[in-house]
Structure 1
């Protein structure tokens, strides 16, 4: 077994587990995060250097740049769950493998925190834009970083198709399983 396959097997969201028995704010947000995790897992599985450098136009972000952005979005939500202010000017410099692993682990951490300890009604998103501190209710995390991460995960899937490497067609997003 290749080293990349070993790493891949240990990452969360290759499948989505069973859903919760009841609907609460936390279980619904958890399932949203799991759906994002599944899509991200398969959108990023097996990306090649040519896929990572792909840009649909000269003024677009490369797929690797988009992965950095998605990672930052997950960090913003983790900061909110820890009641910490997120510095929006944060720059990350990691390899593709590090972005992929850390993003999936952040999504898993969010999911676990929602199940065990976080009450959404008590979470606010605190951000620092250019030295100005701002605070928003969790609603903004849904239409902001979480929805944005879903949007950009679709962008990765689209970019990889355009660069000649479509994602695994056996990944069934409706069921959250590999068929």
Structure 2
């Protein structure tokens, strides 16, 4: 698959109106764009990089971000969260799945008239705990943004900074 065919090479056009759903969707678009470029051009050596003995590697951090994207998409699709097995996923498949999950989440939110209906359902033993959409913002969405920043920092430390020309402000790439 051509890299430009993956979601978030650039941020999609802004919605015409401001609603809770379009704002939340745009937040995920920003996350998707940052994730796309934080992961673009990573090498196998980069994926193994960890800045210390007690920290996640870049690959382990990306595995976690996939799980966070699943948490958000599951809530938006009305499903209980089921975390994927990531051990057998190639980096390319992991990256593609994460970006597609973020794009689907954004699309659902932008079409929503009432985001309060999106409840995250997480199994805790025999019980299913439910969390309102508010918890998406400070939970998986906020956490994913945090971890994408870590990936950017780790890749810099590994000698592979972000590609030039990426504008986080405009969501575009200067060629």
Q: Give your verdict on TM over 0.5.
A: yes
Match in the other structure for 1:77:
72
Unaligned runs of 5+ in 2: none
**TM-score after normalising by structure 1:** 0.91
**TM-score after normalising by structure 2:** 0.93
The answer to whether 1:124 aligns with 2:119 is yes
Distance in 1 (alpha carbons) for counterparts of 2:90 and 2:127:
31
Alignment of 1:7-22 (within 5 A): 7-22=2-17
Alignment of 1:80-99 (within 5 A): 80-87=75-82, 91-93=85-87, 94-99=89-94
Distance in 2 (alpha carbons) for counterparts of 1:118 and 1:101:
28
Unaligned runs of 5+ in 1: 1-5
Asked if the contact 2:70/2:82 (under 8 Å) is kept, the reply is no
Distance in 2 (alpha carbons) for counterparts of 1:103 and 1:170:
23
Aligned CA-pair RMSD: 1.4
Distance in 2 (alpha carbons) for counterparts of 1:68 and 1:130:
23
Match of 2:151 among 150, 153, 156: 156
Q: Secondary structure at the match of 1:127?
A: strand
CA 1:106–1:87 in 2, change beyond 3 Å: closer, same or farther? closer
Off by >6 Å, runs of 4+ in structure 1: none
Distance in 1 (alpha carbons) for counterparts of 2:171 and 2:129:
36
Q: Secondary structure at the match of 1:135?
A: strand
Asked if the contact 1:81/1:118 (under 8 Å) is kept, the reply is no
Q: Secondary structure at the match of 1:85?
A: coil
- How many residues end up aligned between the 2 structures? 173
